[in-house]
Structure 1
Amino acid sequence: MNHAWLLIAGLLAMAPAPALGRDGALDPGMRNPLLPGYFADPSIIRDGDEWFVFATIDPWGADTLGLWRSRNFRDWTFETPNWPTKAAATSPTSGKSKVWAPSVVKGRDGKFWMYVSIGNEIWVGTADRPAGPWRDANGGKPLIPRNFRPGLHMIDAEAFVDDDGQAYLYWGSGLNWVNGHCFVVKLKPDMVTFEGELRDVTPAHYLEAPFMMKRGGRYFLTYSFGNTTKDTYQLRYAVGSSPMGPFREMSDTPLLATDAKRQIFSPGHHAIFSAGGEDFALYHRQALPFTPVGDIVLRQIAVDRLTVSGDRLAIVSTHRGADVPGTAVKRSGARLGRLTASGSADLSHSATAAGDDNYATSWRSNPGAAWLQADLGTVKAIGVTTLRPAYPTATISFSIEASLDGKAWRHIAAERPARGSPITLPAISKTRFVRLVFPQGADILEWNWPTQ
Structure 2
Amino acid sequence: MIRRPALRRALLAALLAGSAAAMAEAPAPLSFDGADPDIEAADGRYFIYPTNSGGTGQLHVWTSPDRQHWQKGAELIALDRIGWIGNDGAPRHALWAPDMVAANGRHYLYFSVGPQNPTPSRIGVATCAGLEGPCTDSGKPLITGGKGFEAIDPAVFVDPASKTRYLYAGGSAGAKLRVWTLGPDMVTIDREIAVETPPHFTEAAFMHERGGTYYLSYSSGSYRHDSYQVHYATASSPTGPWIYRGKIVESDARFKGPGHHAFLHDPADGGWYIAYHRWEGQTGPGPYKGSRKFTVQPITYRADGTIAPLEMR
Answer whether TM exceeds 0.5 for this pair.
Answer: yes
Mapped pair 1:264 → 2:258 = no
User: Counterparts of 2:250 and 2:273 in 1: how far apart (Å)?
Assistant: 17
Q: Which residue of 1 aligns with 2:87?
A: 92
Within the candidate set 231, 234, 237, 1:239 is matched to 234
- Are the equivalent residues in 1 in contact too, given 2:45–2:65 (CA < 8 A)? yes
TM-superposed CA distance for 1:308, in Å, is: 2.2
Residue-by-residue CA offset, 1:292-324 (whole Å, 9 max, x unaligned):
8867342111222212233411242332xxxxx
1:203 to 183, 186, 198: 198
Deviations 1:244-275 (A, max 9, x none): 2221212xx11111112xx1211111000012
Q: 1:168 aligns with which of 166, 169, 187?
A: 166
Corresponding residue SS for 1:75: coil
Separation in 2 of the partners of 1:93 and 1:290?
38
Q: Does 1:112 align with 2:113?
A: no
- Cα pair 1:93 1:145 within 8 Å, conserved: no
- Would you say 1:62 and 2:56 are equivalent positions? yes
Query: In the alignment, which residue of structure 1 is the partner of 2:296?
Result: 303
Structure 1 residues 292 and 57: CA distance shift in structure 2, 3 A: farther
Structure 1 residue runs without a partner (length 5+): 1-26, 320-452
Secondary structure of the corresponding residue to residue 92 of structure 1:
helix
How many angstroms apart in 1 are the aligned matches of 2:194 and 2:86? 25
| Structure 1 contact 255–313 (Cα < 8 Å) conserved | yes
Alpha-carbon distance between aligned partners in 1 of 2:208 and 2:129, rounded to the nearest angstrom: 24
**Cα distance, 1:290 vs structure 2:** 4.2
Going from structure 1 to structure 2, the CA distance change for 1:184 and 1:297 (only over 3 Å counts) comes to: farther
Query: Which residues of 2 match residues 374-413 of structure 1 at below 5 A?
Result: none
| Cα distance in 2, alignment partners of residues 286 and 87 from structure 1 | 30
- Alignment match, 1:157: 154
Question: Any idea what the Cα deviations from partners look like across 1:79-112, whole Å, max 9, x if unmatched?
Answer: 34241x12222142385441110111111x1111
Aligned residues: 277
* Structure 1 residue 312 corresponds to structure 2 residue 303: no
Taking the TM superposition and a 5 Å limit, the aligned residue runs for 1:208-287 are 208-250=203-245, 253-260=246-253, 263-275=254-266, 276-287=269-280
Q: Name whichever of 236-245 and 89-98 sits farther off.
A: 89-98
The answer (yes or no) to whether the contact 1:64–1:81 under 8 Å persists in 2 is yes
Alpha-carbon distance in 2 for matches of 1:311, 1:293: 34
Change (3 A) 1:294 1:245: closer
Contact 2:61–2:76 (CA under 8 A) maintained in structure 1: no
Q: More helix by proportion, 1 or 2?
A: 2
CA contact (8 A) 2:231 2:247 kept: yes
Greater RCO (CA < 8 Å, at least 6 residues apart): 1
Task: Tell whether the 8 Å contact from 1:239 to 1:311 is kept in structure 2 after alignment.
Answer: no
Larger Rg: 1
Give the corresponding residue for 1:125.
126
2: CA distance, partners of 1:125 / 1:296? 31
**2:276 counterpart SS class:** strand
RMSD (Å), alpha carbons: 2.4
State how 1:138-153 maps to structure 2 within 5 Å: 140-147=139-146, 150-153=147-150
1:423-447: per-residue Cα shift (whole Å, max 9, x none)? xxxxxxxxxxxxxxxxxxxxxxxxx
Contact 1:171 1:182 in 2 (8 A): yes
In structure 2, C-alpha distance between the alignment counterparts of 1:32 and 1:221, rounded to whole Å = 25
How far apart are the structure 1 equivalents of 2:89 and 2:272? Answer: 35
8 Å contact from structure 1 (residues 103, 158) kept in 2: yes
Q: Matched residues in 1 for 2:226 and 2:113: separation? A: 26
* DSSP-derived class of the 1:131 partner: coil
C-alpha distance in 1 between matches for 2:79 and 2:285: 26
The alpha-carbon deviation at position 193 of structure 1 amounts to 2.1
The question of whether the paired residues in 1 share the 8 Å contact of 2:68 and 2:296 is answered with no
**Counterpart mapping for 1:322-361 below 5 A:** none
